Amino acid sequence: MYSLQSVQARQKSNKAMGKMILVAVFGTIMTASTWVILFTTEVITLGGVPYSVLMKVWQDPTARSALLGGDETELHDLMGGLGIEYDIKEYYRDRIEDPVKLDQHIHQILFDRTGYVGEAYTVRGRTLVLKDPGKIEELRNCPNC
């Protein structure tokens, strides 16, 4: 038979555990909600890719299938038609002023996420570099490239 004190101690312990679980659940929900709000308002990105771009890919059945299936060639072919590179550049344009660094950053994001390698780039290790250093001046003189 249990003593009254041991029963009361067990009940108190159960209440404390219940409160800790409630606080943990509430904290998790708040953290997830905050992240979703920041992501959908494009304050933060997912792997460098803004929400609007992810939604554009997700809403295109062919692009979604290529992304989920890991078909890098198909996804690469769809990028231009969907305007993915342009949209990501627009997102980062006010954050990265140098057009050469902007172009390389965008291509690096696309390469890291999809295996996409722009025609002006080659892969060294896991980093993209311009094939032709003369392309630097072309990128600097093209504000919308």
pTM of the predicted structure, to 2 decimals: 0.75
Do the Cβ atoms of 130 and 120 come closer than 8 Å?
yes
86 vs 79: CA distance, rounded Å: 9
Q: Please state, rounded to an integer, the average pLDDT across all residues of the chain.
A: 86
Q: Say what the pLDDT of residue 8 is.
A: 67
Q: Say what the pLDDT of residue 144 is.
A: 64
How big is the CA angle at 100 (ends 66 and 74), to the nearest 5 degrees? 10
87 vs 93: CA distance, rounded Å: 10
Residue 76 CB-half CA count within 13 A: 11
Q: Say what the pLDDT of residue 38 is.
A: 96
Q: Token pair for residue 128?
A: 């993209």
Burial of 76 (0-12, 13-18, 19+ CB in 10 A): middle
pLDDT tens-digit map of 4-32: 676 666 777 778 888 899 999 999 999 99
